[in-house]
Structure 1
Amino acid sequence: MDYKDAANTIINLKNRDLELRDRLLQRGELSEGYNKEMEAMHNKNALILEGIIDKIGYPGIDKVGKEASEAAWLIIQHAIGQPRFLKRCLNLLEHAVDQNKADPKNLAHLADRIAVFEDNPQLYGTQFDWDAAGELSPNTFDDIQKVNRRRKNIGLNSLEEQTEIIRNRIKNENQAPPADFEQRKHKFNEWRKAAGWIK
């Protein structure tokens, strides 16, 4: 597989992912747990992307260009039912960022996502979820001053600013909090156990 074919495949996977998200959003099916159709697509995309990574290594900007590298990161970020794959990609992405072949913001998001699934505090505060008050809030994070310093170092806005942006976006998308917060939390923990994130 050459880099151009890899880039085209990765971009097509991302486009299908976002098209499905838009359809589910229109049907109001994004707030109540992990949609089965979306889960199936995320798992399939992860399998295809892992095959590409096996052939060409991490799809950094140097190999597949900025658009496809960003698309690869999105596919990785969405493959939440694949702990081994996400951890493998985190390691590969760390090396790519060290070599200026990938965006450090993407590394921050992926590291935080894994931390949330494993019940560890986020270092950058990039991951949000519904809280008991029905607001979208950052998942548990490290000290706010340290978080904002890390965010600034890689070109992100403050966590306070990002929280406002996220909440406005959700309102604009007409997303509503889950009907039963405790039940949703319970289902999330059961899903994490089944996926292998926690015991």
Structure 2
Amino acid sequence: MKHNFIILLALLFISQGCTNTEKKKNTETIETQFNQELANELDKLADVDQTAANVPRGKFKDYSKEEFNAYKDSVFTANKKRAEEILDEYGYPGIDLVGEEGSSNFWLIVQHCDFDPEFQKRVLKLMKAELDKGNANGKNYAYLTDRVRKNTGQKLLYGTQVVYNNQGQAVSMPLEDSANVNVRRAEVGLPPLEAYLNSMTKFHFQINKEMMLKRGIEEPILYEVPGQNDSIQ
């Protein structure tokens, strides 16, 4: 009887060991596989997105303002529809699924879905889960966070959405807890807000240089950046 009991224990131990091994195998098989086809598709969608988001180029220079705006709306709407399908099938496409560039391309498409902030909010929530796993870009997350806040009437957290004053300086839209904005920016890998505003100010000056010169503004008016003793050039 004692002998039979020992055999039974041995069999249970072996069975448990097999079960644990099987669980380990199952866990290993659910690792996300890189999807090159999806990454390629996102690359193409992002190219079209950028054509629509920028000033008219190529054949689009001949479009009237109304025609180009209609084209832009059609691109953003079509891209949003496809982004929803991708989200439903894969969740937020993280770096493991489509690579750093592919994941950023998906984010870029969502950035231009301002006409549907509820969709942007949905993406932001899923993106945060991937960010916490190191599977999404922190800078992109900050930009989408501010985009959602702007589109839902809230104050920004990272200062990524700007307006311009009469001197052509970029100014952040209203901030929540403005005293700690650079702390938050550093946490996601963004430079100090003043450095970002300077880059936006320089860009604004260049594309509006003729108008700025007529106003008597001969060069971009920049902010002092914390931690930099020398003035920005």
Range into which the TM-score falls when normalised by the shorter chain: 0.7 to 0.9
* Structure 1 residues 175 and 35: alpha-carbon distance in aligned structure 2, compared to 1, 3 A threshold: farther
User: Using CA pairs below 8 Å that are at least 6 residues apart, which structure has the higher relative contact order?
Assistant: 1
Partner of 2:204: 170
Instruction: Indicate the residue corresponding to 1:21 in structure 2.
Output: 53
Are 1:124 and 2:133 counterparts? no
Q: Per the alignment, do residues 6 and 154 of structure 1 end up closer, same or farther by CA in structure 2, a change over 3 Å counting?
A: same
Question: Does the CA-based 8 Å contact 2:168-2:204 persist in structure 1?
Answer: no
Q: Do the aligned residues in 2 keep the contact of 1:43 with 1:82 (CA within 8 Å)? A: no
Mapping for residues 49-198 of structure 1, pairs under 5 Å: 49-131=83-165, 135-174=169-208
Question: Are residues 58 and 126 of structure 1, via their aligned partners in 2, closer, same or farther at CA, if it must alter by over 3 Å?
Answer: same
Whose radius of gyration is greater, 1 or 2? Answer: 2
Which residues of structure 2 form unaligned runs of 5+?
A: 1-33, 212-233
Identity within the alignment, %: 32
Query: Structure 1, residues 94-148: CA drift from partner, whole Å, max 9, x if none?
Result: 1010111001111111111111112211111111134576643211112332111
The alignment yields a C-alpha RMSD, in angstroms, of 2.6
For the structure 1 residues 121 and 92, does the alpha-carbon distance in structure 2 shift closer, same or farther, using more than 3 Å as the test? Answer: same
Structure 1: which 4+ aligned runs deviate by more than 6 Å? none
Q: How many corresponding residue pairs?
A: 171
Q: Structure 1 length normalisation: TM-score? A: 0.76
Partner of 1:10: 42
**Any conservation in 2 of the 1:3–1:56 contact (CA below 8 Å)?**
no
Give yes or no for the alignment of 1:40 onto 2:106: no
* Unaligned runs of at least 5 residues, structure 1: 178-199
**Residue aligning to 1:189:** none
Cα pair 2:39 2:98 within 8 Å, conserved? yes
